[in-house]
Amino acid sequence: MSAFPPPLAHLIDALKRLPGVGSKSAQRMALHLLDRDREGAQYLSRTLEAALKELTRCPTCRMYCAGDACRYCSDSRSESGQLCVVESPADLLAIEQHTDYRGRYFVLLGRLSPLEGTGPDELGLDQLAELLRANWVKELILATNPTVEGETTAYYLGEMARAAGIPMTRLAHGLPMGGELEYQDRGTLAHAFAGRRRMPDAE
């Protein structure tokens, strides 16, 4: 039998769904909201409900957007001729916040991982292929994470770019192997992005 009244137990269980939040942290958060910040709890509830209702995936880049207009797919961004492929929305935001890149993006929402059942279809690679055929892409920037799965994904994307005749670059390896883009500091990420290198052509 739970030591908490059911509404409190349910709140703690809900907070435990957040990444990195265990039972103790969830309990502290729940009690803080109930004891000291009920107004903040109501604001959190309202904004979360609004986000769930109003945010959708952009059908072109797969990033979150509100309504039909995606801020990351504008004509001004297409003028750069650059398309940056990232694994997650968090990676996109890290690049936006820590570099001066203002081209277009494509969000994979994962990486190739046969063991987890993640293949090309789950990553939306048919949509990416359509973008590569759109004639505005002059450089494909591979910004997958430096993990085993990320490297495998980058190789697959590189083959797609070669087949489409599009030059490609990869973020410089200032990023540590096994690291995640969203956790890198500003200097490391900016240096890696500025030092991206062209991928070798297939022999």
Q: What is the pLDDT of residues 98-145, one digit of tens each?
A: 999 999 999 999 999 988 889 899 999 999 999 999 889 999 999 998
pLDDT tens-digit readout, 180-201: 888 888 877 876 787 777 776 6
Residue 44 belongs to domain with CATH number: 1.10.8.420
Give the DSSP letter of residue 197: E
6-15, 19-28, 47-56, 188-197: range with lowest mean pLDDT? 188-197
Would you say residue 202 has pLDDT above 90? no
Predicted local confidence at residue 104, as pLDDT:
96
Same domain, 45 and 69: no
49 and 100 share a domain? no
How many structural domains compose the chain?
2
Is the same domain home to 186 and 92?
Answer: yes
Q: Which residues of 185-202 are buried (b: 16+ CB within 10 A; e: fewer)?
A: eeebbbbbbeebeebeee
Q: pLDDT (tens digit, 9 = 90+) per residue, 75-94?
A: 999 999 999 999 999 999 99
Per-residue pLDDT at 155 exceeds 60: yes
**Helix axes 23-35 and 6-15, enclosed angle (nearest 10):** 120
Read off the pTM.
Answer: 0.79
Residue 11: domain span: 6-55
Would you say residue 112 lies in a domain? Answer: yes
Best CA proximity match to 45, nearest among 90, 14, 86, 79: 14
Q: Where are the alpha helices (DSSP H) in the chain?
A: 6-15, 23-35, 38-54, 75-78, 89-98, 125-132, 148-164, 186-194
Judgement on whether residues 121 and 82 belong to the same structural domain of the protein = yes
pLDDT at residue 64 is higher than 80: yes
Closest CA to 166 of 123, 121, 128, 120: 128
Model pLDDT for residues 25-51, shown as the tens digit of each residue:
999 999 999 999 999 999 999 999 999
